[in-house]
Each structure stands twice: as C-alpha cells, then as structure tokens.
Amino acid sequence: MSPPAERADAPPPSFVRNLARTLPFMLICGIVGPIFLVIYLASGSVPEIGWMLWTGLGVTVLDVVLAVAIAAGRTRAQRRTHRLRRTGRRALAQVLSVEQTGVRINDQPLLELRLRIEGGDVTPFEAESRSVISDVRLPLLYAGPLPVLVDPETLEWEFDWDSARPASFTAVGVPSAVPADQRPIADRLAELDSLFQRDLLSREEYDAARARILGEL
C-alpha cells in the first residue's frame, strides 16, 4: 500500500531551526546565568564577585546543553515523521491496552499503549508506546483498528490520524475519557522527571505538566 501524499517541496526538519526556537526559551528560564555574567563583566571583573563568573558560566552552559538536547530530540522525532509520511507503508494497529500515566502535556493525557500492528506488506508485530493523545481522539482508541504508517525494515511507526475514521463520542461501550490517576503526587512527579531526563518531553511540556500536577495539591 502506498504512503500518503505529501508536498514534494516540503522541507526536511531542521535542527538549527528547532534550536533557534528552543534556545531563547531556555535562556529565559535560566536568565540568572547571563545576568551574573553581565554583572561580573560590568563591574570590571572584581575578584570579590568572581563566583558570579563561574556560576553564570555554569548556568548558561547548562541552558545551552539542555536546549541542544531538546532540539536534537525534537528533530529526530520530526525527521521520523517526515520519512514515514514520504516512504512509510500503511497498516492497521489494534489497541491491546491503554494505561494512564498521570501526566498531561499541554492539557492532553500521556498514555501507555500496547498495540498489534499488521497489514499490507508489514509483518505483524506488537509495539509499546508512550503517546500524547488529544481528548478528541481518545474515543478512536476504543473504536477499532487505527491506521498507522510503518517502516517495514526498522518497524518504526506512528499513528496516521489524518486517515483515522471519526468515532461517536456517545457510542455504547466507548469511554469518553481516561480514568483519573489516583497515584500519589510524589510518584507522578518522579515519573515526569524521568520522562524529561530521557528526552521524552520538551522543557515546555515538562513545565506545563509539572504545574498541572502541583496544582492538585
């Protein structure tokens, strides 16, 4: 089965473009670093405040390193999507299980999914994924097989939401929402930190999810 059509002139994802978007945000979050550097240099490098130089450098370098890591992770994900939309094979994913993680990103739930993918010239296989699914798409997880795009060689895949058939939000037996997570907030924050450290969340997503969890206190 052929992949979905995509504009032939669609530019490939750019690491530089992602870094240009991420770095200013990280520098604002860690603004104390540049501020210390400016104060130290403006004072004429007074030895008594030499600690400001090293603290400022350390914080600023950390900001840059985090920005590079986030931009690299985002670029990898975008390049995979770009490649799958151009050369991927269509298949169907049967949702075997859906579990709540207790994390919401941009006010959408992050779910643990277990799927069985098959169809076309794709050898059937099972896959596990942590995916952010918007509230309006949640019913589709329970309404039958979902279309996906698959690389038959690497078995990389992603949902083809544009081809997913609409589902009735009031259909019998189709949940309209995922049950709320009842785990202790400390456990949910620890899991959120783990996701961020493994580059599965951007800084913006991490901050939004953390603020939401803390808002339940």
Most confident of 9-13, 59-63, 86-90, 209-213: 59-63
Cβ proximity of 212 and 108 under 8 Å:
no
3-state SS assignment for residue 104: strand
Which residues, listed in sequence order, are joined to residue 117 by a DSSP beta bridge?
93, 125
pLDDT, one tens digit per residue, over 148-165 is 999 988 889 999 887 776
Cβ proximity of 133 and 109 under 8 Å:
yes
Q: Which pLDDT does position 10 carry in this prediction?
A: 62
Alpha-carbon distance of 160 to 132, in angstroms, equals: 14
Alpha-carbon distance of 98 to 181, in angstroms, equals: 13
**Res. 174: pLDDT tops 50:** no
- Domain spans of the chain? 15-85, 89-163, 185-214
Q: Which pLDDT does position 49 carry in this prediction?
A: 85
Q: Which pLDDT does position 107 carry in this prediction?
A: 81
pTM for this one?
0.58
Q: What is the phi/psi pair of residue 83, to 5°?
A: -70, -45
Q: Which pLDDT does position 210 carry in this prediction?
A: 80
Average pLDDT over residues 75-102: 88
Q: Which pLDDT does position 177 carry in this prediction?
A: 41
pLDDT, one tens digit per residue, over 17-57 is 999 999 999 989 889 999 998 888 888 878 888 888 899 99
Nearest by Cα to 97 from 127, 135, 124, 123: 127
Q: How confident is the model at residue 201 (pLDDT cuts 50, 70, 90)?
A: low
Mean predicted lDDT score pLDDT of the chain = 80
Task: Provide the edge-to-edge strand list for the sheet that holds 122-132.
Answer: 122-132, 108-119, 89-105, 146-150, 157-159
Alpha-carbon distance of 188 to 168, in angstroms, equals: 31
Distances (CA, A) of 104 to 7, 18, 97, 158: 32, 23, 19, 20
Nearest by Cα to 190 from 113, 101, 114, 105: 101
Mutual angle of helices 50-87 and 32-42, in 10-degree steps? 140
Q: Which pLDDT does position 125 carry in this prediction?
A: 92
Nearest by Cα to 124 from 83, 146, 94, 99: 94
**Res. 214: pLDDT tops 90:** no
Which tokens in the block code for residue 193?
């930190």
Q: Which pLDDT does position 67 carry in this prediction?
A: 93
